[in-house]
Amino acid sequence: MNNVLSIDSRQAISLLNDNSSSYLIDVRTNAEWQKIGTPLILNSKNYLQLSWRHGEDMSRNNNFEKELMSVVTNKDSLLFFLCRSGVRSLEAAISMENNGYMNCYNIYDGFEGTNFQNGWKNNKLPFELKA
């Protein structure tokens, strides 16, 4: 059983903007960041792009935990995980919880949303698209 908390993108941006020691970990792929856009938060230095899965076959990034732990050393930090629709981000959040990070949040509506929720971009939250 996991203790990852699920919140929507509107709740997430509010918590991210109110807490300067929180991190938004975008676990999508490079192609998604380039073609679909990236979220914007007030403390942009706490926005990390770290793919949970990569490549055409969407294979698991076996260095994910090591890479994240090298950046976020305080295991009490608030970590908000984001993917397209909340599936990969939940997997990543559970993995980091299993590595001792106690404040992991899954943004369940994701960046693009699902058939039932709008997600970050469709909720008109701040984002940018690289030209």
Phi, psi of 91 (to 5 degrees): -60, -45
* pLDDT (tens place) for every residue of the chain, 131 residues total: 689 999 999 999 999 999 988 999 999 999 999 999 999 998 888 999 999 998 788 999 999 999 999 999 999 999 999 999 999 999 999 999 999 999 999 999 999 998 888 999 999 999 999 76
Identify the DSSP state of 43.
S
Q: Residue 1 has what pLDDT?
A: 65
**Distances, alpha carbon 4 to alpha carbons 26, 58, 67, in Å:** 16, 23, 20
d(CA 85, CA 67): 23
Contact yes or no for 61/52 (Cβ under 8 A): yes
* Superfamily grouping for domain 5-128: Rhodanese-like domain (3.40.250.10)
Contact yes or no for 34/130 (Cβ under 8 A): yes
Domain chopping of the chain, boundaries:
5-128
Contact yes or no for 41/120 (Cβ under 8 A): no
Instruction: Provide the token pair at 108.
Output: 């369940």
> Where does residue 87 rank: exposed (0-12), middle (13-18), buried (19+ CB within 10 A)?
middle
